[in-house]
Structure 1
Amino acid sequence: MASKLLRAVILGPPGSGKGTVCQMIAQNFGLQHLSSGHFLRENIKTNTEVGGMAKKYLERGLLVPDHVITRLMLSELESRSDQHWLLSGFPRTLAQAEALDKICDLDLVITLNIPFETLKDRLSRRWIHPPSGRVYNMDFNPPHVHVRTHVCFHSLTSLW
């Protein structure tokens, strides 16, 4: 008898720790950690059609619209139909959740509730290196090379 594949999602606001929690759970339970941010960066880097569409929005400081991120994520999920996975960063809207619901039944949804002041504090210390997409935290994961942050780094608060 075949075992059921686990499908789980972690929800929470930017800075709540979705990615960190996902990594720990995925590692401890043998799940694939699927991150919408990772898939976006990879598709932009490899210049796929969806990556090109997403890049146009991100370059203007806009969120990637539902139809673009949903197309990307559903394609990624369908290619992993035989794997257990834990998803972070998707869905973020009702339209995305409805699209996800059409292709799979979730077994578990974890919601992270973090006080606003904690989120604000975390996000004010989060930075990204645009050419590489690497994410840093000035408290516990600062860049290895000293750079002028106002020139080379941008806060993620407007992107997430």
Structure 2
Amino acid sequence: MRIVLLGAPGSGKGTQSKLIMERYQVPQISTGDLLRAAVAAGTPLGQQAKAAMDAGQLVTDDIVLGMIRERLAMPDTQQGYILDGFPRNLAQAGALDDLLKDLGKPLDVALLIDVDFESLMQRLTGRQTCASCGAVFNRYTHPTREENVCDVCGGELTHRADDNEDTIRNRLKVYEEQTRPLVQYYNERSLLKTVKGEGEIETIYKAVADVLASTRQ
């Protein structure tokens, strides 16, 4: 199963990706993880990426695509993969299609985890993390029994500085402008499947599993 996973910040992509990985035994390929690993290992592409980042520049699509090409050559991708975080725009989607065609590993599905704007705002602005054990809560959707105290270990809950309303509205605006057009792109290629990302995690995953099962038939 070869999947591109789409969804706005806060849509629950990460959670669903882990469940898909367990079910289908395929790796999640995150471009952020690839970049960090390549830089740490000092690979040729990692050195190019580091030079760009040190200069305050964005890492070019060619470098990222090169890392994806290398990652897809590894044995654990033979049964499929989940691409998370790439493509982010139409130019990247076109370049990715060319790469996957060249590798003989075209996409089976572009899976969109769709959540409405107000729910995304609640999820992101209400997020709290335990400073001691790392457990994650939400003051709106998953509150703790005692305010600002972790249900798991009793540690103090913290709120990320960038989880404020202005910053999050800007992140969602960037998503709408750059990444949302990918929905139409993949729909036009009959690859798009949409699952509503609201409700219990297990309920959402059942819908995801049903979509993927129908895709394989």
TM range (shorter): 0.5 to 0.7
Between structures 1 and 2, the one with greater helix share: 2
Count of equivalent residues? 138
Question: Are 1:112 and 2:100 matched, yes or no?
Answer: no
Question: Are 1:100 and 2:96 matched, yes or no?
Answer: yes
Equivalent of 2:4, from 9, 31, 41? 9
Alpha-carbon distance between aligned partners in 1 of 2:80 and 2:91, rounded to the nearest angstrom: 23
Cα displacement string for residues 83-139 of structure 1 (whole angstroms, at most 9, x for unaligned residues): 3222211121223222322333211110122333444555557xxxxxxxxxxxx61
Aligned to 2:86: 90
TM-score, structure 1 normalization: 0.65
CA change 1:73–1:31 in 2 (3 A) is same
Question: Are 1:19 and 2:14 matched, yes or no?
Answer: yes
Larger Rg: 2
Aligned to 1:74: 69
Question: Are 1:144 and 2:132 matched, yes or no?
Answer: yes
TM-score, structure 2 normalization: 0.50
Structure 2 letter corresponding to 1:96? Q
Percent identity, please.
35
CA change 1:24–1:98 in 2 (3 A) is same
Please, what is the CA RMSD of the aligned residues? 3.5
Structure 2 unmatched runs, 5+: 134-154, 176-217
Structure 1 unmatched runs, 5+: 1-5, 126-137
CA change 1:50–1:15 in 2 (3 A) is farther
Aligned to 1:49: 44
Question: Are 1:38 and 2:61 matched, yes or no?
Answer: no
Once the two structures are TM-superposed, the CA of residue 54 in structure 1 deviates from its matched residue by 2.4
Structure 2 letter corresponding to 1:34? I
Alpha-carbon distance between aligned partners in 2 of 1:55 and 1:63, rounded to the nearest angstrom: 10
